[in-house]
Chains A and B, each alone.
Chain A
Amino acid sequence: MTDPASPPPVQPPYREVTLAAIVLGLIIGAVMNAAITYAGLKIGFTIGGSAIAAVIGFGLLRGILRKGTILETNIVQTIASAVNTPNSGVIFTVPVLLLLGFELSVGGLDFWLITLACVCGAVLGGAFIIPLRKQMLDIERLRFPSATAVAAILKSPGAGPKKAIVLGVGIALAVLIGLPAQLPQLRSPADIEDLQTLVEQERIGRADLLLTRQIDSWISAQTAPESLVRHGRLQAELIQAKEVNSEQVGDLEGQVVDAKAYALAELRNALGHPVDRSRLTDYPLELSALAHRASAGEIPWTELRSTKAGWAADPMFGYADLQIRMHRRVDESSEPVDFAFNGPGENSDVLTPYADLNRNGVPDLVITDDTIDVGRILGLPLQIQLLFAIAPFAIGAGYLTGRAGLLVLAGGILAYVVLNPLIYSMGWMPATVSESGAAGYGFGNVNRPLGIGLLLGGALMGVIASLPAIREAFKSIVVAGKANTSGGGGSDELGLKVLIAAVAGALLFLFIAADFTGKQAINSVCPVSEQAIESDEFSAPYNGYTLAFADEPSLQAFLEASPEDQIAVAAPFSADRKGLLSGLNPHVRAGIIAVIGALWIWFAGIIIAQCTGMTDWSPISGMALLTVVLVMLLSGPGGVLGAVLIGAALCVAITCAADMMADLKTGYLVGAKPKRQQTVELIFTGIGPIITMGVLLIIVVGNQAKFGVPIGPGTDTSAPQAQALQAVITGVQGGEMPYTLYGAGSFIGALLGLGAFSGLGVLVGLSMYLPFAYIATYGVGCVINMLVSKTKGASWAEEWGVPMAAGFIVGDAVLALGVNAIVLITG
């Protein structure tokens, strides 16, 4: 093809894996990991880092160092995302242990065990999915919209100035559209004069106004109610007592509860009107702590002007500030009542529920900061949800998926426009569920479990249908590997040896983890005396678990008790119920859990990779849920520590598997050598969980000092996903999981895969599993792609539409990271 007579000019080797790329990737990955871990614990979802890393890497390597190549920048994003990605697997699972009362400290064994488990999970997940690269990328040619977008970024310098401009316009548009959706996360203390307006605009509640006015009066007077100061002082003493494990902890806890109740009563009584006293129901712990320190002269009184202390927070400009609301429709049959926006003593007309769902007397916003309620604008019945998220990345992902994404939209419409309204109108929802609550009830009780089932069944059928292709892909890897060892051309892949090593490593690690945790006591509180357990000196086997006791008399009391009494004291720890493998020898049990766990990494990794490959959505929280449920079913509902430990490792493995495949897709599009990407990813991905666990530990220590609790409600980091997992664990322990819906969904998913194409069940399942608002916006992107292809031709749609869509994805991601970084810095 080239003229062999013209020798190429002497140039240094083409830059790909370089020290600069590795260092830059590590730095970007570590910073993103820390920022996104904090944001994930605060708001409940994480963002992928590839696009951001590509942009930053591109800017630094090519813009500042002036020597980066496309493939070198690809290595930067590969390493950065490998270091960043494991955080979602960790923060969706590990914090649940803290919510359940386990302790996490750098001196504790559990911390290091969990960290090690997550590191192993990260490496194993990547290694497990490598042999499927050929099948997913070369043969199935999955789209991976975000990975395609990253490739568009990387290729932009060579694609010509026009495409670079289109990409830039896409980024700018995404930022412009996304800014009013993201900015309201940034809040500053409200001006005292604006409080009433903010209440009328529904930006703050009346309780915020009342508390803020009180705080303002204390700052002016340089004094606070004595009861509040006392509450702060006792809280500080309690935290100190907990640090030194003082015997006074129990007594102080009681005093703190009493002091808070007393202080709250005084604050309420300070309000002039009885209606206002009803509205002020609580105040943050931080308020009493700051009042105590200010009265002691440690800090100035102006420090109380803090949103964490309960001062009303004024969000920055968002779409809600447009104040586009439903038409005001008065419910003529209702007497006027005293609403919060009026202030006490003034009654207003009651609106109809259609105009005012939250029944606060003000017509509802149809455009909130991040959604547009098209259903209500069109006047559709309330049980039909037609909500669009203001999310540029969803439009971009939809565009890049194109026509195939319409199946996701169809699934969403099926679930939220057809299924839920039908179930509601048939009377199959509880009578207590209102028209407006039908979508929410349907999502939690029907769509989500059915969606998870469909994902499982669809993925299983996908694997079965692809078996011939998988076999060919494996054969090709084996042939290439042999050519490599015999000196022939060499393989571009880390071959089957990696998979074999990964399987062996996974089996060994999971066996050790399951065997170790199987011997650990499942309780940190004595079942008999209900006191905290200081050591594992006194323990007894029970129903396949190990129960620990506070002292010898408690242990004896348990051993000598009747079977009924033993069940009664074991029940709070779910030790009265056995797991499926409880009757087996502990080592055999650990072995079976290891085998099933290894298979699950592979299967769930395929599900996540297929979902992100086809649509860009990743049902990681659903897979985390199933993982923990699976382990709890095997080992028993009482073995929460073991289930979460193994579950965390598996979740990290699954996320890393999907990330590996997405990075390889980007690499494919820019011509990177898979072997090099695979190698750097496997080497550096283990750093991710260490950073995440470190950040988690810092947050826990900070929360303990400030709030007296490690994480969750009452702190800055509510860990919403971990709370959801906690609910699932409680559900498993209470025997209330909707297993039949999972099974029925699997059946439908598998049968769907027999028809048009094997991945159909996965697509429909994903659409039922996700909130409709994002599906709808994603569908808009798909429709735009089809319209552009129809009017301008497929080539035009690909050539100009892809950089624009890539800009939407990247712009939104950069904006989200920027806003999160500001939240992180400003606290």
Chain B
Amino acid sequence: MKLFAYLLITLSVILGSLASSTAYLVRLQGTSPETLATLRLGSPAGAYDPATAGSAFTERLTTVYSKLDAERSTVVNPLKPITTQRVPAITPPVETAPTGESVLAAREAVIPIGRTGDRLLPDLVALLNESDVTFVKVTEFGFARWPYSWLFVLSCVGLLGGAWIIRRTRRMELAAAVAAGPVTGKDAVDAATVFARLSGRLHSLAEELAETNDQDARLEAIIRHIGQIQRDDVPAFAADRPALVNRLSLAGYAELMDSFAAMERQLNRAWSAAADAHLPESETCLRNAQPLLVETLRRLKSHSAPNPVSE
């Protein structure tokens, strides 16, 4: 079921992205010429080969271009006082010959029919239609013109459906896991068991510290025990987040992690101070961690009743 949901989500993302990529496309067939004439091309449209295109085609295209160019070349600054234009100096003529690359470029060039920024005049649309161009990209968006808006809506429904299936499956899995009871031992992954292991390690550390007054031995014990906690217990505790959130709710989980993280930070500091051979700071941090350990345990136990439907 979960696999199906992930496939549905993946497919929906692909379809949604595909549909989005068509948001600025306009279908030439079936869109009124009046509407098209108000739109401008957002990228080149169509292509033709000057060598094979007939002279009638190129003449019509030339006429369209001259109309469009005339539209664009309106007077920019009607208020500017008339001044004399600078005449560029004459430069020596340079006799050149085409390079191989330019010959190749001309040979393989794809020349667009409609240029970026061109208005979709009826004559231009006619030329594009004759060249079998179905869609063109324009600069303005219109929901009614969006050819694949239905696909986008469908993909949104797919995403919603996939999300619903995943959440439902997850709740069922967690409920089943709660019903099956905790896994104990070295490979335990549930937070309560991991936390018990962590507490045990801290207890062992306290016993070792009590047994010796040798500073180096004490420092070594702190680094070793907390190193194990950092490597094994902390990641395992955090990895049980889905079950904890399911059991405690997100707010309860946040409350639990608040004290857990504060304790972890004290242990991290104890480790750093021990690594720097600063025993007083390290032991202070261990003492500071103790009430936080108790508080975390209290919060972990206070929500012991399974609550498989909350999240």
Interface size of A in residues (CB-CB distance below 8 Å): 118
Identify the closest chain B residue to A410 (Cβ).
B10
Q: Are A472 and B265 in contact (CB under 8 A)?
A: no
Q: Are B278 and A334 in contact (CB under 8 A)?
A: no
**Partner of B287 from A1, A269, A466, A741 at Cβ < 8 Å:** A1
Q: Are B286 and A1 in contact (CB under 8 A)?
A: yes
Q: Are B22 and A428 in contact (CB under 8 A)?
A: yes
Question: Which chain A residues border B301 with CB–CB below 8 Å?
Answer: none
Q: Are B258 and A138 in contact (CB under 8 A)?
A: yes
> Chain A 266-292, CB within 8 Å of chain B: the 1/0 string?
101100011101110000000000000
**What range describes how many residues of B lie at the interface?**
35 or more
Identify the closest chain B residue to A259 (Cβ).
B89
**Partner of B89 from A258, A337, A468, A756 at Cβ < 8 Å:** A258
CA distance in complex: A450, B202 (Å): 50
Question: Which chain B residues border A427 with CB–CB below 8 Å?
Answer: 134-135
CA distance in complex: A561, B307 (Å): 75
Q: Are B104 and A2 in contact (CB under 8 A)?
A: no
- The verdict on A360 contacting chain B, using a C-beta distance below 8 Å, is yes
Identify the closest chain A residue to B224 (Cβ).
A160
**If the complex has contacts A3-B210, A8-B280, A339-B100, are A138 and B108 also in contact, measured as CB distance less than 8 A?**
no
Question: Which chain A residues border B98 with CB–CB below 8 Å?
Answer: 275, 278
Question: Which chain B residues border A53 with CB–CB below 8 Å?
Answer: none
- The verdict on A798 contacting chain B, using a C-beta distance below 8 Å, is yes
- The verdict on B215 contacting chain A, using a C-beta distance below 8 Å, is yes
Interface residues in B252-311 (C-beta closer than 8 Å to A): 253-255, 257-258, 260-262, 264-276, 278-281, 283, 285-287, 289-290
Question: Which chain B residues border A578 with CB–CB below 8 Å?
Answer: none
Identify the closest chain A residue to B288 (Cβ).
A489
Which candidate, A96-104, A313-321, A525-533, is the interface stretch facing chain B? A525-533
**Partner of A419 from B17, B232, B253, B264 at Cβ < 8 Å:** B17
Identify the closest chain A residue to B232 (Cβ).
A795
Question: Measured between C-beta atoms, what is the minimum distance from A451 to chain B in Å?
Answer: 10
Q: Are A469 and B254 in contact (CB under 8 A)?
A: yes
- The verdict on A39 contacting chain B, using a C-beta distance below 8 Å, is no
Question: Which chain A residues border B91 with CB–CB below 8 Å?
Answer: 258, 261-262, 264-265
Q: Are A258 and B24 in contact (CB under 8 A)?
A: no
**Partner of A740 from B23, B101, B108, B134 at Cβ < 8 Å:** B23
Q: Are A752 and B13 in contact (CB under 8 A)?
A: yes
Q: Are B88 and A258 in contact (CB under 8 A)?
A: yes
> Chain A 465-504, CB within 8 Å of chain B: the 1/0 string?
1101101110010000000000000001000000000000
- The verdict on A669 contacting chain B, using a C-beta distance below 8 Å, is yes
Q: Are B279 and A450 in contact (CB under 8 A)?
A: no
Question: Which chain B residues border A572 with CB–CB below 8 Å?
Answer: 76-77
Q: Are B25 and A428 in contact (CB under 8 A)?
A: yes
Question: Which chain B residues border A79 with CB–CB below 8 Å?
Answer: none
- The verdict on A558 contacting chain B, using a C-beta distance below 8 Å, is yes
CA distance in complex: A446, B16 (Å): 12
CA distance in complex: A318, B44 (Å): 38
CA distance in complex: A386, B86 (Å): 52
CA distance in complex: A469, B141 (Å): 39
Interface residues in B10-34 (C-beta closer than 8 Å to A): 10, 13-14, 16-25
CA distance in complex: A266, B271 (Å): 74
> Chain B 27-47, CB within 8 Å of chain A: the 1/0 string?
000000000000000111111
Question: Which chain B residues border A426 with CB–CB below 8 Å?
Answer: 18
> Chain A 757-794, CB within 8 Å of chain B: the 1/0 string?
00000001000100000000000000000000000001
Question: Which chain A residues border B274 with CB–CB below 8 Å?
Answer: 158
**If the complex has contacts A2-B286, A468-B254, are A431 and B249 also in contact, measured as CB distance less than 8 A?**
no
- The verdict on A338 contacting chain B, using a C-beta distance below 8 Å, is yes
**Partner of A275 from B75, B97, B112 at Cβ < 8 Å:** B97
Question: Which of B223, B250, B274 has the largest number of chain A CB atoms within 10 A?
Answer: B250
Question: Which chain B residues border A569 with CB–CB below 8 Å?
Answer: 77-80
**Partner of A277 from B94, B258, B278 at Cβ < 8 Å:** B94
CA distance in complex: A735, B167 (Å): 41
Q: What DSSP secondary structure best describes chain A's contact surface?
A: helix
Interface residues in A731-755 (C-beta closer than 8 Å to B): 735-736, 738-741, 744-745, 747-748, 751-752, 754-755
Q: Are B76 and A414 in contact (CB under 8 A)?
A: no
Question: Measured between C-beta atoms, what is the minimum distance from B92 to chain A in Å?
Answer: 5
Interface residues in A684-743 (C-beta closer than 8 Å to B): 735-736, 738-741
Question: Which chain A residues border B52 with CB–CB below 8 Å?
Answer: none
Interface residues in B149-164 (C-beta closer than 8 Å to A): 152, 155-156, 159-160, 162-163
CA distance in complex: A273, B98 (Å): 11
Question: Which chain B residues border A334 with CB–CB below 8 Å?
Answer: 104, 107
- The verdict on A361 contacting chain B, using a C-beta distance below 8 Å, is yes
CA distance in complex: A89, B42 (Å): 30
Identify the closest chain A residue to B18 (Cβ).
A422
Q: Are A6 and B213 in contact (CB under 8 A)?
A: yes
Interface residues in A396-438 (C-beta closer than 8 Å to B): 410, 414-415, 418-419, 422-423, 426-428, 430-432, 434
CA distance in complex: A158, B110 (Å): 64
Question: Which chain A residues border B250 with CB–CB below 8 Å?
Answer: 465-466, 468-469
Question: Measured between C-beta atoms, what is the minimum distance from A223 to chain B in Å?
Answer: 19
**Partner of A70 from B89, B205, B275 at Cβ < 8 Å:** B275
Q: Are A347 and B159 in contact (CB under 8 A)?
A: no
Question: Which of A6, A340, A410, A572 has the largest number of chain B CB atoms within 10 A?
Answer: A6
**Partner of B139 from A340, A736, A798 at Cβ < 8 Å:** A736
- The verdict on A214 contacting chain B, using a C-beta distance below 8 Å, is no
Question: Which chain B residues border A446 with CB–CB below 8 Å?
Answer: 17, 20-21
CA distance in complex: A669, B167 (Å): 32
- The verdict on B119 contacting chain A, using a C-beta distance below 8 Å, is no
Question: Which chain A residues border B9 with CB–CB below 8 Å?
Answer: 752, 755-756
> Chain A 301-323, CB within 8 Å of chain B: the 1/0 string?
00000000000000000000000
CA distance in complex: A157, B232 (Å): 20
Question: Measured between C-beta atoms, what is the minimum distance from A402 to chain B in Å?
Answer: 10
- The verdict on A568 contacting chain B, using a C-beta distance below 8 Å, is yes
Q: Are A755 and B89 in contact (CB under 8 A)?
A: no
Question: Measured between C-beta atoms, what is the minimum distance from A134 to chain B in Å?
Answer: 6
Identify the closest chain B residue to A338 (Cβ).
B100
**Sample of 5 more A-B contacts, CB < 8 Å, known A360-B101, A472-B255, A558-B79:** A69-B272, A469-B251, A471-B251, A572-B76, A744-B152
A and B contact pairs by CB, cutoff 8 A, 23 listed: A14-B273, A69-B278, A70-B275, A134-B261, A135-B254, A158-B274, A158-B276, A277-B95, A279-B99, A334-B107, A339-B100, A361-B101, A432-B110, A450-B20, A472-B251, A472-B255, A671-B266, A736-B42, A740-B23, A740-B24, A744-B16, A748-B16, A748-B17
**Which 3 pairs of residues, A with B, have the shortest CB-CB distance?**
A158-B275, A671-B269, A337-B100
B contact set with A: CB distance below 8 Å: 5-6, 9-10, 13-14, 16-25, 42-47, 74-81, 86, 88-89, 91-105, 107-108, 110-112, 133-135, 137, 139, 141, 152, 155-156, 159-160, 162-163, 166-167, 202-203, 205-206, 209-210, 213, 215, 223, 227, 231-232, 235, 238, 241, 249-251, 253-255, 257-258, 260-262, 264-276, 278-281, 283, 285-287, 289-290
